[in-house]
Amino acid sequence: GYSLLDPADPVEAGQHMIHVSQMIVDHIPAPAGVSDAPLQMQVSTIDYSPYLGRMGIGKVVNGTMRLNQPIVVARRDGSIKPVRISKIFRFESDGKVAVEVAEVGEIVAVAGMEDVTVGVTFTDPENPRPLPLITIDPP
């Protein structure tokens, strides 16, 4: 594909989608989180792997997430369960790529906790700060 700022402009070889890319850089704000704050990631959906089990998918709101990092899962009932991150996957193209670090603004899938559910917060064990709960309408 290609992009043009004016439909009357001629299409040039190698132009591709540069205008769209530049508009994104110029007009979409950077993530609002703080990378050196305590970790906060709220699970918004669940994925499953036959090898890794249930994985929580969500956006890193604050902090930085690292492979093998001890975290706590803050649940809906107010309880906190310590776990260790066994895998982090970043979404690229139409697949997942294993990474060692996830930073503010990234949407990732996290493995290492078998009973993860939508709405829980992955947070720092020394300064747990759960995010407000997501309410899910019944089917």
Query: What is the model's pLDDT at position 13?
Result: 67
DSSP designation for 7: T
| Residue 14 pLDDT greater than 70, yes or no | no
**Cα dihedral across residues 95, 100, 106, 108: positive or negative:** positive
* Strand ranges across the sheet with 95-99: 80-84, 70-74, 121-123, 40-49, 53-62, 107-111, 87-92, 95-99
Token pair listed for 94: 């139409």
The model's pLDDT over 32-80, given as tens digits with 9 standing for 90+, comes to: 888 999 999 999 999 999 999 999 999 999 999 999 999 999 998 889 9
What are the structural domains of the chain?
1-30 (no CATH), 40-123 (2.40.30.10)
d(CA 48, CA 63): 25
CB neighbourhood size of 94 (10 A): 5
What is the C-alpha separation between 134 and 131, in angstroms, rounded?
9
Which residue type does 12 have?
A: E
What residue type is assigned to position 65 of the chain? M
How many residues in total does the chain contain? 139
Cβ atoms of residues 34 and 94 within 8 Å: no
Find the angle CA(116)-CA(121)-CA(123) to the nearest 5 degrees: 115
Give 52's DSSP letter. T
| Single pTM value for the model | 0.80
Higher pLDDT, 127 or 136: 127
